Structure 1
């Protein structure tokens, strides 16, 4: 028996019968709550990529396409790509391709490929 199981059992033994039923009911509620919280992953919006697009507009489009993502978690990657484009002259199309990959990867990492919550 694991330590937490021993502690729980010891605490339950100290309770009156009615209190034990309350404890069991609460534990069952907590177990069911996790099942209820699993919802289908929100789908990315279908915003097509224009033929001619700037890197800044691509970031805006991708942010709108994936509104469910926390943009702060991607800030380092997106700002690095923006710097490569503006400071080092990297081609906008290749930067946008990589930005699309980053957004999609973060979506997959967070929501998984099965349509269920991945984290």
Structure 2
């Protein structure tokens, strides 16, 4: 069975960007809730930083794990090698994107 035909191979391909989308939703959702309900600025910033760091750690953990995505397949299965390489590249890109979307938490004022 080819690595691309297995659902777990596809999960490795999109796993990093699932973490990124979760970070995006959580950060902007927390920001909206905190500003709507007038949370203290330090409390809101700590909540945002905690959510962001948690997502960065999770996305960072997926990068080395994604190297194993295609291992254990038959040696003649070229799809497994593709899934492993593509998973590694996509996980690294998702890690960079997760770091990027959280940088405004550090740099900008929260609620205006």
Give the TM-score range, shorter chain. Answer: 0.3 to 0.5
Q: TM-score, normalised by structure 1?
A: 0.35
Instruction: Give the number of the structure whose residues are more often helix, by fraction.
Output: 2
Higher Cα Rg, which structure: 1
Greater relative contact order (Cα < 8 A, sep 6+): 2
